[in-house]
Amino acid sequence: MSEHRSIANPGSGLSRRDLLRRFAAAVAVAGHCTFSPEAARHVHRLAHQEREATGSYVPKFFNPHEYQMLERLAELIIPADQRSGSAKDAGAPEFIDLLCSQNQELADLYTGGLLWLDRQVERHTGQPFLEASRQQQEEMLGLLDAEARRLEEIRSAERFAVFEENTNYGGFRDYRSVPSGELGPGARFFVWLRRMTVDAFYTSPMGIADVGYRGNEFLSEYVVPEEAIEFVRKNSPIE
């Protein structure tokens, strides 16, 4: 068996499942020889192409004003820079809209949060959120970030006293009420927004490239690059 034989003819119309099945079969047969990483990569390229062909997104849940706010917020939380685009470019508003369309509890958190934000910004600047300056928008997020940190400190002190239910996978516990001032509702919303925006950005191909994750590969041998070993050797505080 050759080392890089093709297991599928690109463009032959096979589904990803068919290809995976063939891929695994080829691997199983190969057994004692090197299987083809090229073939495996081909399967995954097809999956990407399927996705890219889906076109522009039509919001399922948020109204246009809310959706525009989400887009702006995504740009503020993860902005574009020289290395990569913004969370808006990476599809964060789509991701949030989709999940809110499937979960009323989450949707309430967002609609309530967006209303609160609009109102607070208007109160402070005389303009609704989208018409405020970038600096004003950032100032408001800065206040919410500081408040979120304050609340988090209270919560982590409190956490050890709380009996969690019969699971260790309680996930996010911050919908429990905590002592909070004027900014409390906004801070809670901000934490959710940041979490989901960060998730959407870094799970996207753009985010993966931004942090430089190199895995999810098919390797016939695992090697740690000499430069990585050398780096640790040089920088280690030990000896």
Partner 1 sequence: MLQQSPKKFDVVVIGSGAGGGTTVRALTEKGVECALLEAGPMLDPFTEFKEHQWPHEVDHRGAEPGGKAYFGKGKPFGYFSTTSGGWQLEGEPYTVGEGSRFQWFRSRILGGRTNHYGRMSFRFADYDFSPYDKDGLGANWPISYQDIAPYYDKAEAFIGVTGSREGIRSAPDGVFQPPPPPKAHELLIKQACDRLGIPCIPNRRAVITTPLNGRAPCHYCGQCGRGCQTVSAYSSSQVEIFPALETGKLTIFDNAMAREILTDQDGKVTGVSYIDKKTRTEKEIHCRVLVLAASACESARILLNSKSTRFPRGVANGSGVVGRFLMDTVGFSLNGYVPTLEGLPRYNTDGFGGAHLYMPWWLFEDKKLDFPRGYHIELGGGYQMPGVGFGAGTVSRHGGFGPALKENIRKEYGCFVNFAGRGEMIPNNLCYCEIDPEVVDQWGIPVLRFHFKWSDYEWKQARHMERTFAEIIQTMGGTVLGGPQRGDDGISVGGEIIHEVGTVRMGSDPRTSALNAFNQAHEVPNLFVVDGGCFVSNPDKNPTLTINALAWRAADYLAEEMRKGNV
Taking residue 42's Cβ as centre, other Cβ atoms within 10 Å add up to 17
- Within positions 76 to 135, which residues make up the interface with partner 1, using CB under 8 A? 76-79, 81, 91, 95, 98-99, 102-103, 105-106
String of contacts with partner 1 for each residue 33-72, x by CB under 8 A: x-x-x--x---x--xx--x---------------------
d(CA 144, CA 137): 11
| C-alpha 65, offset from chain centre | 23
Give me the least distance between CB of 179 and partner 1, in Å please. 19
Instruction: Report how far apart, in Å, the C-alpha atoms of 177 and of each of 107, 111, 155, 165, 238 are.
Output: 18, 18, 10, 17, 45
| Stretch of 6-14, 114-122, 149-157, 177-185 contacting partner 1, by CB under 8 A | 149-157
Q: Which of 141, 183, 186, 188 binds partner 1 (CB under 8 A)?
A: 141
Within 177-236, the residues that bind partner 1 by CB under 8 A are 194-196, 198-200, 202-205, 207-208, 210-220, 222-225, 227-229, 231-233, 235-236
Give min distance, CB of 109 to partner 1, in A.
Answer: 10
Residue 207 neighbours by CB under 8 Å, 6+ apart: 84, 90, 201
Using the structure block, give the residue that is written with the tokens 């927004």: 193
Query: Contacting partner 1 (CB under 8 A), which of 58, 161, 177, 181?
Result: 161
- Compare residues 64 and 215 and give the one whose CB is closer to partner 1: 215
Residue the block writes with tokens 């959710």 = 192
Of 11 and 225, CB closest to partner 1: 225
Q: What is the chain's length? A: 239
Dihedral, CA of residue 36, residue 39, residue 41 and residue 45, to nearest 10: 180
The smaller minimum CB distance to partner 1, of residues 3 and 138, is found at 138
